[in-house]
Amino acid sequence: MSRMTEFGSSDKTYMEKIFQLNWQIVLIIFLIAGVGFSMLYSAASGDLSPWASRQMLRFGIGVILMLIISIIDIRFWLKMSYALYGISFILLATVDVLGSVAMGAQRWLDLTLFQLQPSEIMKIVMVMALARYFHGLEVGDAGRVRYLVIPLILILAPVALVLRQPDLGTAGVLGLIGAVMLWLAGIRVWQCLIFSFSSIAAIPIGWQFLHEYQKQRILTFLNPDLDPLGSGYNIIQSKIAMGSGGLFGKGFMEGTQSHLNFLPEKQTDFIFTMLAEEFGFIGGTTLIGLYALLISYCIFISFSCRSQFARLLSMGLVVNFFLYLFINMAMVMGLLPVVGVPLPLISHGGTAMLTVLIGFGLVMSSGIHKGVYINRRGASLIM
């Protein structure tokens, strides 16, 4: 490695950075969002309002934010990691307190166009904080028990707050992302086994604390025919809609099940069902292919980074994105209980759109600054 690249990478102008952006990623994001707009147009029976137009506006704002984030130096994000984590944690706790005062499930802050859920922001900043922590460790240290205390607190504290809301799905995703980060950082295999077993052991205990409706959802998932007109209705209708789409689908705006309103929530959680009904197996797998391509580009970036921070950060964010789409699709296909996770970049709604685009902004920042070497304390070599 020559020192030239190190100097060069830190002295890039913003213009140069924009040219070094991973434009393939941006292009695929636009493609997927475009699919989303047309599905929302179809969900409104051929109308831009009420969903598609708002979604386009949100996407526009999100993309600008993504590009700004991506050209900001990766060392800045490293320095800000703990602070951002702290702010988000306070927000999460505030919403938790306010929510219990208001006697409702107040999980979000209302920013008119976006309803920001601190728990969604938490997914990103938790990855940042963990990446920052493990960046500062020797590879051997990551497996030592005393170095595991802080990351475990970083993971479990927000998980506990989100569980209190209670938002089972998000808490599970947060925990899973945390676990993946520990795994990537290099904790021992036996530690992984202990964590897995204790998580499984916690399930019967956790069951006691679930709300009745949450228990109902899980039981209905296990056997949807138990309650074909209640909680099971959504899953059965989703399967009928998807299955009746067949290989080639019924055509754009021709989905009978969606448009005759058998399909619930077709603009949000069940939008993939509508896509699969109208464009069939071919359309559904094409979308999955686009997602896979997007994820692959991000994984390449992760592997090419010189700093552990950028590697962990981008890989963690990819996992977050993957969990969104996997849980949503598995849910509408009847492989997972209905937990209310949107399809990223497609479902109508502000929070997920914003979080996902912020995530890609950070991944691309890692990509632009992949050559930057950062020492354990967070300073780059030349500073």
Partner 1 sequence: MLNRGEDQYRVFSRRAAILVGGKAALLSALIGRMYYLQVIEADRYQLMAEENRINLRLLTPSRGQIFDRFGVPLAINQQNYQVLIKSENNPDIEKTLTHLGRLIPLSANDRKRILKDVSRKRKFVPVLVREYLEWEDVARIEVNAPDLPGITIESGSLRFYPQGEAAFHALGYVGAVSPKHKTGDRLLELPGFKVGLSGVEQTFDLALRGKAGSSQLEVNALGRVIRELDRKEGKTGQNIVLTIDTSLQKQAMKALEGKTGSIVVLDVHTGATMVQASSPSFDPNNFTNGISENEWKELSEDERAPLRNKAIAGEYAPGSTFKMIVALAALEAGIINKNTSFFCSGSLTLGDGKFHCWKKHGHGLTNLKKGIAQSCDVYFYELSRRVGIDRIAIMAKRFGLGQNLDLDIPGSRPGLIPNKAWKKAAIGKSWVRGETLLAAIGQGFVLTTPMQLATMVARLANGGKAITPFVARDIISRNKIISRTDLPASDMGLNPNHLRMVLKSMEAVINNQWGTAYRARIMVPGMGMGGKTGTSQVRRITQAERDSGIIKNEQLPWKRRDHALFVGFAPIVSPRYAISVVIEHGGGGPKIAAPIARDIMVDTLNRDPAGQAPGADVAEWQTVPKEA
Binding residues vs partner 1 (CB under 8 A) = 45, 138-140, 180, 183-186, 228-229, 233, 239-247, 256-257, 259-262, 276, 280-281, 284-285, 288, 291-292, 295, 299, 302-303, 306, 308, 311-312, 315, 319, 322, 326, 329-330, 333, 335
By C-beta, is 37 or 183 nearer to partner 1? 183
User: Given the complex with partner 1, which of 88 and 320 has the nearer CB atom?
Assistant: 320
What secondary structure does DSSP assign to 160-224, as a single string? HHHHHTT-HHHHHHHHHHHHHHHHHHT--HHHHHHHHHHHHHHHHHHHHHS-HHHHHHHHHHH-G
Quick one: 167 or 278, whose CB is closer to partner 1? Answer: 278
Shortest Å distance, C-beta 47 to partner 1: 9
**Which of 71, 180 has the CB closer to partner 1?**
180
CB 181 within 8 A of CB 316: yes
Find the shortest distance in angstroms from Cβ 91 to partner 1: 28
CB of 207 to partner 1, least distance (A): 25
For partner 1, which is the closer residue by CB, 64 or 379? 379
Q: Distance between CA 185 and CA 188 in Å, rounded?
A: 10
CA nearest to 356, candidates 287, 296, 295 = 295
Long-range contacts of 292-300 (CB under 8 A, 24+ apart): 293/28, 294/25, 294/28, 294/29, 294/32, 294/321, 295/321, 295/322, 297/22, 297/24, 297/25, 297/28, 298/25, 298/360, 298/363
CB of 304 to partner 1, least distance (A): 11
What six digits make up the tokens of 39? 């599905």
Report in angstroms how near the CB of residue 35 gets to partner 1 at its nearest: 16
CB 193 to partner 1: min, Å: 15
Comparison of 284 and 337: residue with beta carbon closer to partner 1? 284
Residue 16 or 254: the one with the smaller Cβ distance to partner 1 is 254
Contacts with 239 (C-beta within 8 Å, 6 or more apart), sequence order: 333, 334
Q: Please, what is the minimum distance in Å from the beta carbon of residue 327 to partner 1?
A: 10
Measured from the CB atom, the residue of 157 and 290 that comes closer to partner 1 is 290
Helix axes 271-304, 308-332, angle to 10 degrees: 160
% helix, strand, coil for the chain, step of 5: 70, 0, 25
**Closest distance of CB 86 from partner 1, Å:** 26
Q: Which residues contact 329 (CB under 8 A, 6 or more apart)?
A: 272, 288, 343
Q: Distance between CA 71 and CA 43 in Å, rounded? A: 36
